Amino acid sequence: MAFLTKDELSTVAPADFIKLVAGGSEDDGTIDQLITEMISLIKTNLGSYYDVDTVFSKTGEDRDPTVLMYLKDLVYYKLLKRRKPGAQLNEDEYNEAMKWLEDISSGKRRANLPTVKTDSDGDGVPDEDVKFMKLGNRRNYQNGW
């Protein structure tokens, strides 16, 4: 079973509307393709520190509700963009989901997800979480001299 199905999108919009936006046919793979693309986007942002294969292999009640909610928001936004390509849409949910992903990938925020493990002692068994290493320097201040 997939991490997210077309039927579960009914929590963000009525099922008839989802069907209409997707093109009206039951066997249309548009929604499945959008779900796959948005999962790939989330994996890209979470993959450095979190075990995304474990996160997206879960089904039913075992899925993380935050990841599921943001995935639905991203898919729904892309469906609306497909329906009205030039229209001004309410982008609040999309922007919130993208900000959450950016905060996670930059290390400003931690998600309650399984982390990626590395092999620290060379025995071939991953046993230690990947460390978050932040690079940069202190802020430069102008002193006026």
Q: What is the pLDDT of residues 81-136, one digit of tens each?
A: 877 666 666 678 888 888 988 888 887 887 878 877 777 777 776 666 666 655 66
Does a structural domain hold residue 107?
A: yes
Does a structural domain hold residue 58?
A: yes
Element spanning 15, H or E: helix 15-21
Q: What is the DSSP string of 25-94?
A: -TT--HHHHHHHHHHHHHHHHHTTTB-HHHHHH--GGGS-HHHHHHHHHHHHHHHHHHHSTTS----HHH
Give me the domain span that covers residue 73.
6-117
Does a structural domain hold residue 24?
A: yes
| Tally of structural domains, the chain | 1
Under 8 Å between Cβ of 130 and 49: yes
Does a structural domain hold residue 133?
A: no
> How do residues 21-58 score in pLDDT, each as one tens digit?
777 655 568 888 889 999 999 998 888 788 889 999 99
Does a structural domain hold residue 125?
A: no
Q: What is the pLDDT of residue 139?
A: 76
The whole-model pTM stands at 0.72
Does a structural domain hold residue 130?
A: no
Does a structural domain hold residue 144?
A: no
Does a structural domain hold residue 136?
A: no
